[in-house]
Every structure is written in structure tokens, then in C-alpha cells.
Amino acid sequence: MMKHYPYEGWILDDIDLDETRRADLEAHLALCPQCAQLSRSLRIALQAIRNAPEQTAPAGFVHKFVSSFEARRRLQERKQARTLAIVFASTALIVVLVSLYVFLPELSLISLAAAAVSAVVGLLEGFQQVVSFISNAYKNLSPFTLIISGLVFAGWVLLASLTLGLSVWKLAFRKSEVKQ
Amino acid sequence: MKQIDPIWIERARHGDEEAFTMLVEAYQTPVFNLCYRMLGESTAAEDAAQETFWRVWQKIKSYDPQRSFSTWVLSIAAHYCIDQQRKQKITIFELDEYPDFDLGDPHMPNPEITVITNEEEETLHRMINQLNPPDRAAVILKYWYGCSEEEISQMLSLTVSAVKSRLHRARRQLAEVVTKNQSTTLQRGSYDEALSL
């Protein structure tokens, strides 16, 4: 049986052999059809690769890159902002949970849930009391007192709205001044 | 490969977008060619080349000026294409689809090989596609870009011996593709001959 070592390696390593080795390889290739075929096939494959022309970039490649640049940057900023928000929210949650665990060691999930439910119930009861107070006042008070109370309440709401509007307008105005 | 004044690279490193556009203009063809040879399709290659330049822009501040800029850019392109192909698991061609190669004497200059037609381009892609993505990248960098094994090892984050072994395996595979095709062509020829008798 014909030995292919080291000839197969010499062929596949694609290196420049010294004269002695090259002559040795040539002699082997003349006798071994398997190695001769390997050498021939590899030569054809590498020649095909080396002779293939360089593919030029399509027309407008640079323009396409430049015009997509701003969009890519915005997308990246959005991604970074999202990541930052997730990190902050997770950190805040961890801090809250650790604080609860440290400062209120006896607090459990059940007691937390119970506190939340009782707060909601309390809020609903308060709202109910306000409604019943208004309906009682409407039934028992004289129309004159009702009109005066209504006007006072409406005046208070108007004043509060004006104050709020003025504050918002001032803030917006000052902000635009700073920008300019 | 087109040489560029290092001042543009330095300016791009400092965030100059105009200078970076000059770099894109200078390196668009080598990067596109590498992506095309890796992915075998124009549209995918263009997208990959665009993404490569975006990644280059993002990483340019960490670029070491002691290193060759073109090698650095090509390594980003090669890594991106390898990742893309791993994700997409590009179809492996069946053995029957192996390309037709000229059986003439390879020592003789052959005009049919020198003039590359679209069909030959297609067969070349099929042949290259037989290789797994990192082996393909090593072959492309070696035979199209003339990179040394040391350079390839840096570009693909491999050891030199790993590059050598990948190239060795790739060359064997390429030779096997050609041999397989030659025997298929010969069998087809004798079958046609038998039919004509």
C-alpha cells in the first residue's frame, strides 16, 4: 500500500518546499494517483479563488451609509436610554426590597398586601363620606346658602386653576428664554 | 487596498464624521468584497458592509493606531459575517450541486479560468460555501487579501496553529469538491456517450 505521509501534508499546507522535498514530492506524485489528484484539484480550486475579481461596492454605498447614520444613532440612543431605565428601575426595586427587609424584618408579603387593601378601602370610605356630606347639605341647606357655597367653591377652583396655569406658563416661558 | 492618510483616521477617532465618511469611501470596496465572498449575495453583503462601518464608527475610539487600519476593519467585517452565518444557518449545498471545474492542465494558462463569467462566479460561491464560516473567512483573507497566517490569527481571534489547521482542512475540502465534481462530470460524460451509441 502506498504511503501518503508526508506528501499529503506538503500538498495541503500550500507552502514553498525546498528543492529536495519538491523533487521528492514530484517523484511521489508520478507514482501515486491519489496524491496527484489531490494536488491537481487543490491547484484548480485555489486558482479559481485567486482569479476571481474583486466585487466593487454598489453605487451610492457611501451616501446610503451617511443618510442612515442619524437614524442609527437615534436608535442606539433609544436603546441606551431603555437599558438605563431598566437598570435604574431594577436598582430602585432592589433597594426598596432590601430596605424593607432590613428596617422592617417582620414585614411579610401578606402584611404588605393587607396594608394595600386596607388603604384602598379607607380611600373608598372617605370618598363615600364626602358624597353623603354633599347630598345631606343639598337636602338640608337653604337655596341661598347653597348658591353662596357653590360660588365660593367655584371661585376657589378658578383661583387654583389660574395659579397652576400661571406657574406652567412661567416655567415654559423661562425655559424657552434659556434655550434662545 | 487603497491607502489613506492616517490624519483622517485620527480625525475620525476624535469624532469627525466627515473624516469617517472619507474612510467609508476608501474602504467600501474591500469590505463589501469580503462580505460578498462570505455571504455570497449582493444585498446581504451590502447590509453587512453597512453594519460593519457602523460598528467601526462605534469602536473607532478603541482602535490601536499601531495596528493596520484595513486589517482592523476587515476583522470587524469578518466577525460580523461569521456571526450572521451562524445565526442564519445558511443552506449547505448537496454534493450533487458541486460546481463544474475545468479538467485541463492547471500548469497551462487557461483563458476559460482567467475570464470569470457569472456562471463561474456562482460556482465559486458554491465551492466556498462548502466551508464552515470561520474556515471560509480564513481562506478569503488568505487568498483574496493575501493576509499572512499571523494576520489572520489576529483578525479572527485565533491562534496561529488554529489558523494553519483551519486552512489545511479548508484546502482539503476544496480539493475534495473539485475531485468529486470531476468524477461526476466523467460519469455523466460516459453515460451520455453510452446513450449516443
- Mean pLDDT computed over A30-43: 93
- B163-184 per-position pLDDT tens digit: 999 999 999 999 999 988 877 7
Please state the ipTM of this predicted complex: 0.76
Least CB-CB distance to A65: which of B24, B120, B124?
B24
How distant, in Å, are the alpha carbons of A43, A142, A153, B118 from that of B127? Answer: 14, 99, 86, 14
Q: Which three cell numbers stand for residue B53?
A: 462601518
- CA B148, B152, B155, B160 torsion-angle sign: negative
Q: Which of A3-17, B5-19, B29-43, B149-163 has the lowest mean pLDDT?
A: A3-17
* Whether the predicted model's global pTM rises above the 0.80 cut: no
| Amino acid B115: pLDDT | 47
- pLDDT band at residue B1, thresholds of 50, 70 and 90? low
The pLDDT value given to residue A178: 44
Q: Is A34 on the interface with B (CB under 8 A)?
A: no
Q: What is the structure's pLDDT at A92?
A: 92
Distance CA A92, CA A85 (A): 10
pLDDT bucket at A65, cuts 50 / 70 / 90: very high
Cell of A52: 476571481
CB B77 within 8 A of CB B41: no
Query: Over the stretch A121-132, which tens digit does the pLDDT of each residue have?
Result: 999 999 999 899
Residues 6+ apart with CB under 8 A from B24: A61, A62, A65, A66, B53
Q: What is the pLDDT of residue A166?
A: 86
- Chain A residue nearest residue B106, CA to CA: A44
* C-alpha cell at position A165: 396655569
Domains in chain B with CATH codes = 6-93+129-196 (1.10.1740.10)
What local confidence, expressed as pLDDT, does residue B96 receive?
Answer: 41
First-to-last CA distance in chain B?
A: 55
Question: How long is chain A?
Answer: 180
Q: Could you tell me the three cell numbers for B68?
A: 493596520
Q: What is the pLDDT of residues B118-158, one digit of tens each?
A: 777 888 888 999 999 999 999 999 999 999 999 999 999 99
Which of A49, A48, A65, A61 has its CA nearest to residue B29?
A61
Residue scoring higher pLDDT (B91 or A19): A19
Q: What phi and psi, each to the nearest 5 degrees, are found at residue A60?
A: 80, 15
Q: How far is residue B56's CA from residue A63's CA, in Å, rounded to a whole number?
A: 17
The answer to whether the beta carbons of residues B30 and B44 sit under 8 Å apart is no
Share the mean pLDDT of chain B. 83
Q: Is pLDDT above 90 for A39?
A: yes
Of A38, A51, A58, Cβ closest to residue B175: A38
Using a CB-CB distance cutoff of 8 angstroms, which residues of chain A are in contact with residue B25? Answer: 62
Cell numbers found for residue A140: 338640608
Q: What is the pLDDT of residue B187?
A: 63
Give the end-to-end CA distance of chain A in Å, rounded to a whole number: 90
Interface of B with A in 12-41 (CB under 8 A): 17, 21, 24-25, 28-33, 36-37
Residues contacting B120, CB < 8 A, separation 6+: A48, A52
Q: Are B144 and A49 in contact (CB under 8 A)?
A: yes
For residue A41, the chain B residues in CB contact (below 8 A) are 174-179, 182
